[in-house]
A and B are shown apart, each in its own frame.
Chain A
Amino acid sequence: QQQVKQSPQSLIVQKGGISIINCAYENTAFDYFPWYQQFPGKGPALLIAIRPDVSEKKEGRFTISFNKSAKQFSLHIMDSQPGDSATYFCAALPSGGATNKLIFGTGTLLAVQP
Chain B
Amino acid sequence: DAKTTQPTSMDCAEGRAANLPCNHSTISGNEYVYWYRQIHSQGPQYIIHGLKNNETNEMASLIITEDRKSSTLILPHATLRDTAVYYCIVRGYGNKLVFGAGTILRVKS
A binds B: no
